[in-house]
Amino acid sequence: MSKLNWEKLSSRYLVKEKWATLRVDCCRMPDGTLIDDYYVLEYPDWVNAVAVTEDNEVILIRQYRHAAEEVILEVPGGCIDPGETPEQAVKRELLEETGYAFETLEPMGWVYANPSTSANKTHSYLLTGGKKVQEQHLDGREEIEVLKVSPDELKDLVLNNKIPQALHVTAIFNGLVRLGLLK
């Protein structure tokens, strides 16, 4: 197998903000070709969850996503805060966004959103045995509607393109497989 990795010769930041950073790298390809301006978006790592209540309902959320200029149906999740593990982050996000706490948490792996332009990972979890233990505790930039659907309704939502967020559909697929609900 040939060497495919590029050598990063230098990096500089064009934008460095709380929610996103834009970096430009100068790289050398294995054949010696120089790339002077490879742009990389840096975001914090994210978590998301297929969250199942004790009544075997899956929790979904609806919220406005400004880049898409739409209200989007998705699974709960969010950014991993500095110093937090992905497991801590997913528990915190679920409690804040939905008011639910869960008996079990199973890691389902991680994926890149788009490894050609961004470096962050999304860690996905299957949580089961959820119970409502508090009201939502949203930050000032969130307005979230919580919904509960059956696993069959969830499959229909995915098949009918009602959950348009690719990272969330990946988590749903993994969750349904782990729950033994895909034929």
pLDDT in tens, the chain (183 residues): 569 999 999 999 999 998 889 999 999 999 999 999 999 999 999 999 999 999 999 999 999 999 999 999 999 999 999 999 999 999 999 999 999 999 999 999 999 999 999 989 999 999 999 999 999 999 888 999 999 999 999 999 999 999 999 999 999 999 999 999 987
Q: Count up the domains in the chain and report the number.
A: 2
- Residue 2 domain flag: no
Backbone angles phi, psi at 15, to 5 degrees: -140, 135
CA R_g for the chain: 19
d(Cα 143, Cα 77) in Å, to the nearest integer?
14
Position 62 in a domain: yes
Integer CA distances (angstroms), 63 to 33, 69, 169, in order = 44, 11, 16
Structural domain harbouring 30: 7-42
Helices (H), 59-150: 86-98
Amino acid at 77: G
Same domain, 68 and 139: yes
Same domain, 134 and 151: yes
| pLDDT of amino acid 20 | 83
Tell me what pLDDT residue 1 has: 54
pLDDT at position 113: 92
Residues 147 and 111 in one domain: yes
- Count the residues in the chain: 183
Do 155 and 181 meet the contact criterion of CB atoms below 8 Å apart?
A: yes
Determine the Cα–Cα distance for residues 137 and 153; give it in Å rounded to an integer: 27
pLDDT of residue 2: 67
Contact 74, 59 (CB under 8 A): no
* CA 68 centroid distance within chain: 16
- The CATH number covering residue 171 comes to 3.90.79.10
Q: Which pLDDT value is given to residue 182?
A: 85
Task: Judge if 18 and 66 occupy the same domain.
Answer: no
Of 67, 63, 35, 57, nearest to 144 (Cα)?
63
Residue 60 lies in a domain: yes
Q: What is the DSSP letter of 84?
A: -
Interatomic CA distance for residues 101 and 107, integer angstroms: 16
Task: Specify whether the backbone of 4 is left (phi greater than 0), alpha (psi in -120 to 50) or beta.
Answer: alpha
Q: Would you state the pLDDT for residue 83?
A: 97
1 is a domain residue: no
Q: Are 41 and 22 in contact (CB under 8 A)?
A: yes
The amino acid that residue 113 corresponds to is A
Question: 72 and 141 share a domain?
Answer: yes
Asked whether residue 183 is domain-assigned, the answer is no
Shared domain for 82 and 26, answered yes or no, is no
